[in-house]
Amino acid sequence: MESERGKERFSELREILSRHLPIKSGRALDIGCNAGLSSFVLEELGFDVVGIDIQEKAVERAKELAKKRGSKAKFYVMNAKNLDFKENTFDLVALLGYPLAHFSIWDFDRILQEIKRVLKPQGYIVIQESDFLWTLIKGFNQPGLEAEGLVRININVDVHEGYLERLLIDFEKGVFLRDKFYIWSPWILRYVLEKNGFEVEFKDKDLILAQRG
């Protein structure tokens, strides 16, 4: 957020959300907030924000940045499958920064049940997610450059669990990291949302809105 790329991401996300969010105030829950970029965007747009992340270091960093910015956003270490909030607490729940690759379809189904519980009637979910399945089909056998000196190679697809295994190679440091990314596509996301009682609308820039019925 303090880097030039961070400032660009902040500006891009603010512009997208300002055009497409149907509400501009109320209480917002930012799931997978990381260091708080999306939380601070929501706050600038007029929301009272609570950000959660399962990574303690990310939450510590978000708190540091909040203090530096004079932000009133609150940040907690929390698992989205067990939200420590009362029913009908939030007007908006956000999953921004393309987070679904970290969740299996079964995990996300459980998360949506929790979101529905803490979301007010007629409240909204906003999700930022790309069509990972189509990206995978186009370029599975093509090594990709993640960052300078860091190469990504797709090595396996588990069709039973719905994830892709990747090998990340840092040639400068001589480090090899094997990781998994769950595969999502708009039709899969629509099914899981509608299954949990949400009305779904796809927007541009990989943005999905869903309203609690």
Interval 11-27: pLDDT, tens:
999 999 999 999 999 99
Residue 200 — very low, low, confident or very high, per pLDDT cuts 50/70/90? very high
Of the listed ranges 9-13, 96-100, 159-163, the least confidently predicted one is 159-163
What share of the chain has pLDDT > 90, as a percent? 68
Q: Report pLDDT for 157.
A: 86
Can you name the CATH fold of 4-130+185-212? Rossmann fold (3.40.50)
Read off the pTM.
Answer: 0.87
Task: Note the pLDDT of residue 136.
Answer: 64
- The domain limits of the chain are 4-130+185-212, 132-182
**19-52 confidence digits (pLDDT tens):** 999 999 999 999 999 999 999 999 999 999 999 9
Per-residue pLDDT at 3 exceeds 80 = no
Is residue 144 predicted with pLDDT exceeding 60? Answer: no
Q: What percent of the chain has pLDDT over 70?
A: 90
Phi, psi of 43 (to 5 degrees): -65, -45
